[in-house]
Structure 1
Amino acid sequence: MIESIQQFDVELFLKIHRGLSNGFFDWLMPLLRNRFFWSPLYLFIVVFCIKQYKKQGLYIIGMIIFTFAVSDFMASKVVKPFVSRVRPCNDFSLANFIINRVPCGSGLSFPSAHATNHFGIAVFLICIFYSRWKPILPIGIFWAASVSFAQVYVGVHYPIDVTAGAVLGSMIGFICSLLFKKLQPEF
């Protein structure tokens, strides 16, 4: 059972990593996974929260940072060492199939910390702002999913890595939103 899931994961990885290969994605996907590319979005969130919600905005920003910290810790320090899965770009059996689009790194693969962190933040923001601004749902999911897809396309994660990261991050984001609402019931 596990072997068939891993085989499916490798096949899907290759369909995305090699099968969807094109010049536009080769340019775009490394950008989408780069933390500096999203800096204007992060700055907008900070400025918006402070300008729109004043003191509560600072609490929102603090909770976003907390959500990120918990997500990153759970993915990188708890699950990854336990599972110890090698990244596809470091897997010797895939060496002839990997297109080097970004540096691979020496870290582990499961789950994707990028996916965990971005889905954690996205779900937190969705849970906090959905009642006030419905478009946050598709925008937040699209943002986190784009970053996650880019991880597979550039060859640093398998599809199951980003899926598990999305699930883990979503759970953390949801729990953090409940904690925020408990601490800030008037929001």
Structure 2
Amino acid sequence: MIDWLESIDQQLVLAINGWNSPFLDEFMWIISGKITWIPLYLILICLGFVRLGWKKALLYIGCVLLAVGVTDFICSGIIKELVQRYRPSHNLELIHQLHFYRTETGTLYQGGQYGFVSSHAGNFFALSWMVGWVLKPYFRWLLPVLLILTVIICYSRMYLGVHYLSDILGGALIGTGVALLVYRMVYLKVNQYIS
């Protein structure tokens, strides 16, 4: 059963990575980048201050940072080191079948050694759910938009050959779970005492 699931993971990443082109290489590299999303973060912060007032906005920002920070620690600091599952880009069976993005310095981007679970997936799912739940009364469209962006970011990680689908799903579950806990156990409880 495990071998069958791993085979599906490998076939899927090879298929997605195989649909490459120079345009998609650049697009997926940009989508996968951390700096790319700074304007979005600033917009989400501004929306919080505009709709929630400064006290509740600070709680909102703090809870988003808490959810993303805890998710990142669980994904990168604990699970990746415990499981030590090689990324597709470090799997000796796949490395010569994959297409890698060539950076400005000429090196091929292959990510870190271990990929389970995806920090990108975990962090973006944690952020999307937290922001979406808090701002839902004011912007009903925001959560679907953030989740669509998150799925595109996750797809870019498979396209670049640095994550399997199971890495993405694992990260998504952790990010969603942490966001749910922070939202219910911290945000909702503290929010009722802020006027």
With structure 1 as the length reference, what TM-score do the two structures score? 0.93
Deviation string for 1:141-180 (max 9, x for gaps)?
1111111111100111111101111111111111111121
Deviation >3 Å, runs of 4+: none
| C-alpha distance in structure 1 between counterparts of 2:122 and 2:157, whole Å | 12
C-alpha contact (below 8 Å) 2:17/2:161 kept by paired residues? yes
> Gaps (5+ residues) in structure 1?
none
Establish whether residue 181 from structure 1 lines up as the match of residue 180 from structure 2: no
Where do 1:58-137 residues align within 5 Å?
58-101=58-101, 103-137=109-143
| C-alpha distance in structure 1 between counterparts of 2:135 and 2:45, whole Å | 14
> Gaps (5+ residues) in structure 2?
102-107
- How many corresponding residue pairs? 186
Q: Which AA in structure 1 matches 2:23?
A: F
With structure 2 as the length reference, what TM-score do the two structures score? 0.90
Aligned counterpart, 2:145: 139
Secondary structure of the structure 2 residue equivalent to 1:70:
helix
Q: Which AA in structure 2 matches 1:49?
A: G
Aligned counterpart, 1:45: 44
Deviation string for 1:60-104 (max 9, x for gaps)?
111111111101001011211121100111111112111111521
| C-alpha distance in structure 2 between counterparts of 1:163 and 1:79, whole Å | 14
Q: Which AA in structure 1 matches 2:110?
A: C
C-alpha contact (below 8 Å) 1:13/1:159 kept by paired residues? yes
| C-alpha distance in structure 2 between counterparts of 1:126 and 1:50, whole Å | 15
| C-alpha distance in structure 2 between counterparts of 1:177 and 1:140, whole Å | 17
Q: Which AA in structure 2 matches 1:39?
A: I
CA gap of 1:83–1:165, structure 2 versus 1, over 3 A, is same
CA gap of 1:132–1:9, structure 2 versus 1, over 3 A, is same
Secondary structure of the structure 1 residue equivalent to 2:93:
helix
| Superposed displacement of residue 126, structure 1 | 1.5
Where do 1:157-168 residues align within 5 Å?
157-168=163-174
Aligned counterpart, 2:104: none
C-alpha contact (below 8 Å) 1:120/1:172 kept by paired residues? yes
C-alpha contact (below 8 Å) 1:50/1:57 kept by paired residues? yes
Supply the RMSD in Å over aligned alpha carbons.
1.5
C-alpha contact (below 8 Å) 1:127/1:174 kept by paired residues? no
